[in-house]
Amino acid sequence: MELQIKQENYKQLVQCIYLGNLVINEYRKAGEEKKEYADLLEDVLLQIVKSMPKTELNFEFKAIPYKKTEDNMLSDLCDRIEDSINEFYKEYRNCLFDEMLAEKLKSN
């Protein structure tokens, strides 16, 4: 299956995949995570990294190109995604906590 998505929606798609994996796997112990979700996220992120330009001009030394490794690019991408979803995830955790607290108080 091939998924067609508009250029302007890539960010939202990646955020949704990242958040989904975070909700599913963040609190699982090592070895107990749902591997298919972690693998999907990794596959999508690697595809994005492979399509990114690998050289950037270093602003301090404009004549010297800087070549990033795929690992560095993947790490940078993850950092940017985490920054972009931070507020969504905080809101989700706060709502979840509020619901759990309400259920606990209701059962007492």
| pLDDT mean by block of 10 residues, the chain; 108 residues | 84 93 92 94 90 58 62 89 94 93 89
pLDDT at 54: 61
Name the pTM for this structure: 0.76
Cβ neighbors of 14 (< 8 A, separation 6 or more) are: 44, 45, 48, 81
Give the pair of three-digit tokens for residue 35. 């591997």
pLDDT at 49: 86
pLDDT at 73: 85
